[in-house]
Structure 1
């Protein structure tokens, strides 16, 4: 099994040039299948994991998430980036402490978002958002782990910022020490190109959760990495719910004919 330090070194290398897709498994089985399909790295999905345990997104406590990250990090030989939400804390020093716990779980990188989950003020003020990334940076550096720190600006996604405001915040988060920048909600080639240019020479992560730009098109725009968040989990649940509803409502089993075969699944999981 590849060591955490080897995974982190490989993960940093992936961010230096080219473009790669980092899909988001939610359990050991999905992680191992994605490895079998040839992806170079994985990223956890807080929403996908929450749904798989019968909880709503953003309702998984820190201890449970750390345990999940440790299991997922050990499940494959691939580097794992943790969807670490808002660092499970508001204060910078508490974020730093939790980042250290995530590193202890064996992740190769982690993402810290600027969304507070406070209904009245869903985004942290700019100064606090910057201090939180600085604290996370200091924690990563103090550990000497070489883990990749990703800073997320959520304003565009939740309708609290326009593109210009989002790019301005990304620049500040890059200056605060983030290795990679991430703004969910970029939809057009023009928006993506603007974000790539704003954070250069640091790499940009683009979230794809529906139809749109292709991997080749994103690579041509200068995107370094592409993730899908909880989309793969939602695709899996869509198949499950479609078949289950057909049985419950129509008394039919037609959709079961669309299932993956046991042989196919076993082949992907076989060492």
Structure 2
């Protein structure tokens, strides 16, 4: 079974204990090894965490540096890695797919918010883009289609459903309605006909609870990197205070 086939299958098979597929977000090779060694069957890079590790704000990482980071992460582990490649960096589908596969990615996130303008992309144009990515990739990538309507402040689920149906018809494997209210997850999955990815937030439902509410897949955005860096900041403060023996 290829890495992409293994990742795709994980979206449809209950995790041990009956929960959803939980995909921690590594930001470098060392964090990827830590998550893989803990037993997670797959990983999903977060653009925000990778950007921060490279010294950029989220959305400002040059494409070449993002693909290089994904390649280092994928080389470091023996589990499938999905790569958050934001809105595709303006690359044509053939080049985007080629660079993802060259980096060793088994899947990708592609969002329908335009990073440059801050607006939503035209849904049919995005569907055409996703269809072209699917045509170039065949079965070699699991395509997680991110829908940004809730992120942009639209609480009505109907626009997300309309976009999701177009993206499903274009060949997406999974729908990611980022920041969708958790009680809507099951209805979104049923209406679109795809597994749904939910974002786990520190003050929100646990991954297992998100699964109970309808999520087939749970990711963390830059949350895990943020938590790790809070630990680094605490260590740095103790060192600065001369508390070396207590670090």
Deviations 1:32-76 (A, max 9, x none): 000111111001111111111111111111111111111111111
Does the aligned pair in 2 maintain the 1:97–1:139 contact within 8 Å? Answer: no
Mapping 1:57-96, distance limit 5 Å: 57-89=58-90, 94-96=92-94
* 1:186 matched residue in structure 2: 180
Mapping 1:255-266, distance limit 5 Å: 257=246
Q: Which blocks of at least 5 consecutive residues in structure 1 are unaligned? A: 260-271
Q: Distance in 1 between matches of 2:154 and 2:146?
A: 14
Q: Distance in 1 between matches of 2:192 and 2:205?
A: 20
Instruction: Look up the SS of the partner of 2:143 in the other structure.
Output: strand
Q: CA deviation at 1:241?
A: 2.6
Moved over 6 A (4+): none
Mapping 1:14-163, distance limit 5 Å: 14-18=10-14, 19-89=20-90, 94-119=92-117, 122-141=119-138, 145-159=139-153, 162-163=156-157
Q: TM-score, normalised by structure 2?
A: 0.89
Does the aligned pair in 1 maintain the 2:81–2:106 contact within 8 Å? Answer: yes
Q: What is the aligned-residue RMSD (CA, Å)?
A: 2.1
Q: CA deviation at 1:165?
A: 1.3
Counterpart pick for 1:196 among 189, 195, 217? 189
Q: CA deviation at 1:246?
A: 6.2
Q: Which blocks of at least 5 consecutive residues in structure 2 are unaligned? A: 15-19
Instruction: Look up the SS of the partner of 1:78 in the other structure.
Output: coil
* 1:264 matched residue in structure 2: none
Instruction: Look up the SS of the partner of 2:160 in the other structure.
Output: helix
Instruction: Look up the SS of the partner of 1:158 in the other structure.
Output: coil
Q: Distance in 2 between matches of 1:182 and 1:217?
A: 17
Q: Distance in 2 between matches of 1:252 and 1:155?
A: 48
Does the aligned pair in 2 maintain the 1:24–1:227 contact within 8 Å? Answer: yes
Distance 1:28 1:241, change over 3 A: same
Aligned residue pair count:
242
Deviations 1:202-225 (A, max 9, x none): 211111122322233222233211
* 1:266 matched residue in structure 2: none
Mapping 1:167-246, distance limit 5 Å: 167-188=161-182, 190-200=183-193, 202-245=194-237
* 2:7 matched residue in structure 1: 11
Q: Distance in 2 between matches of 1:238 and 1:187?
A: 27
Q: Distance in 2 between matches of 1:67 and 1:60?
A: 11
Instruction: Look up the SS of the partner of 2:2 in the other structure.
Output: helix
